Amino acid sequence: MEAELLAELRRVDQEYAGRSAHAKGLARMPFAGQLHEMRQQYGRDLNTYSHGESFLELFQSRLQPGGLYLLDEPEAPLSPTRQLTLLSMIKQMVAQNCQFIIATHSPLLMAYPDAAILSFDYAPARLVA
């Protein structure tokens, strides 16, 4: 994403080369603003993280106290160690009144203490743990 924003800034610089600094600044503003916000939010380009690290960083940046989160197989990009990190993040947010509905095949995620585990092998779904 950062690379695309930098490319857009270079394109604007080329297209607005003969125009006033004010016109060039106005054209650059949306891309420069997004780049600044992204750097403020993540500290570095998400492309420098591993796939699992970028998932966790993005996930953590979206969490808000009192939120409801629907997750579909969040373990997919995560190693078992990173799944434990995800569980820790979920635990912290549950303490801040967040709720999570998670579709998973991960035994690690299903082992979350006090989780209500439903099986959708039946209609209607059944509480199994």
What is the rounded distance in angstroms from the CA atom of residue 98 to the CA atom of residue 32? 33
Q: Is 118 helix (H, G, I), strand (E, B) or coil?
A: strand
What is the tally of structural domains in the chain?
2
pLDDT digits over 39-76, tens only?
766 665 556 666 677 788 878 888 899 999 999 999 99
Residues 42 and 61: beta-carbon distance below 8 Å: yes
User: What are the beta bridge partners of residue 119?
Assistant: 126
Shared-domain flag, residues 75 and 32? no
Shared-domain flag, residues 78 and 119? yes
Q: What angle do CA 43, 102, 59 make, to 5 degrees?
A: 5
* Predicted local distance difference test score (pLDDT) of residue 28: 84
What domain range includes position 63? 50-127
* Predicted local distance difference test score (pLDDT) of residue 45: 58
Shared-domain flag, residues 84 and 121? yes
Shared-domain flag, residues 67 and 37? no
* CATH number for position 93: 3.40.50.300
Shared-domain flag, residues 56 and 116? yes
Residues 103 and 73: beta-carbon distance below 8 Å: yes
Shared-domain flag, residues 28 and 82? no
One-letter amino acid for residue 125 of the chain = A
* Predicted local distance difference test score (pLDDT) of residue 42: 64
